[in-house]
Amino acid sequence: MFQGTYTNKVDSKGRVSVPAEFRAVLADEGVAKLICFPSFTDTCLEAGGPAYFEKLHSFIDQLDPYDELRDAFELSIIADSVPLHFDKDGRITLTGAFRHADIDDYVTFVGRGEKFQMWNPAVYEARRTEARRLAAENRRLLQRAPLARNDNRGGER
């Protein structure tokens, strides 16, 4: 699972080191690359391993082949996706296609479970502040579905 938040410098050639923790998740999948596309919900880049994108593709594939929403998802996710391979130092190169996220000198990597995002640090901080406010206002929703856990008596609670 991708988790945590890290900010790394982008060099003059557009290369940036992907956090070692994120590379380890991909290595567990047996891959040395990630797949990336511009988010259509935020000003950031969405990224993950091939398994995550296969899952997205399977969701899209369930839609009617001639549905305009399927077209929208195919164009927004599949057509805009780019595989990014790691160099020997664990870096990827962000090309001009990723200017959608307004990333210049630094990138903030944000773990989101089975995917992660890459943000301009200032844009991310503003989004994070809003997300924390919304989460605090709606924290009661996390109490609705208690998790089953094992206790020492062999049963579940």
Predicted confidence at residue 130, as pLDDT, reads: 97
Predicted confidence at residue 71, as pLDDT, reads: 96
Q: How many CA atoms lie within 13 Å of 73's alpha carbon, on the beta-carbon side?
A: 16
Domain coordinates in residue numbering, the chain? 5-141
Predicted confidence at residue 149, as pLDDT, reads: 60
Predicted confidence at residue 156, as pLDDT, reads: 46
Predicted confidence at residue 150, as pLDDT, reads: 57
Residue numbers in the chain where pLDDT is lower than 50: 153-157
To the question of domain 5-141 being in CATH 3.40.1550.20, the answer is yes
Predicted confidence at residue 102, as pLDDT, reads: 87
Find all residues with CB under 8 Å of 7, minimum gap 6, and list them: 106, 107, 108, 109, 121
